[in-house]
Amino acid sequence: MAFTLYTLIQTTILCTNAIAVLHEERFLSRISRGVDQGVGGFGDDPGVKVQTLNLIRSVRTVMRGG
C-alpha cells in the first residue's frame, strides 16, 4: 500500500468533513442525552464518551464557523 502525502491530506479532509456534517437532531443529541446532563465529570476524569463528544463538538465549532 503506497501512501503519498496527498492521500493523507485527502483522508484528513474527508474525515473532518464527515465529523462536520453529522446531523444534530437525529444523531448527536441522542448520543449526548445520557452524558452531559448531570455530573459533568469534575473531580474524577471525564470518561471516553464525554471526551469524544467534546472533541466532536469542538471540531464542529471550528469547521462550521460559529
Partner 1 sequence: MSVNKLKYFFAVDTRYVLKKLMILMFPYTHQDWEVRYHRDTPLTPRQDVNAPDLYIPTMAFITYILLAGMALGIQKRFSPEVLGLCASTALVWIIIEVLVMLLSLYLLTVHSDLSTFDLIAYSGYKYVGMIFTVLSGLLFGSDGYYVALVWSSCALMFFIVRSLKMKILPSISSDSMGMGSNAKPQLRLYITVATAVFQPIIIYWLTSHLVR
First to last CA, the chain: 38
Is residue 55 within the footprint of partner 1 (CB under 8 A)?
yes
Quote the least distance from Cβ 42 to partner 1, whole Å: 13
* Contact partners, residue 19, CB within 8 Å, separation at least 6: 56, 59, 60, 63
Euclidean distance between CA atoms 31 and 53, whole angstroms: 9
Is residue 58 within the footprint of partner 1 (CB under 8 A)?
no
Is residue 24 within the footprint of partner 1 (CB under 8 A)?
no
Residue selected from 19, 36, 46, 59 as contacting partner 1 according to rule CB under 8 A:
46
Is residue 8 within the footprint of partner 1 (CB under 8 A)?
yes
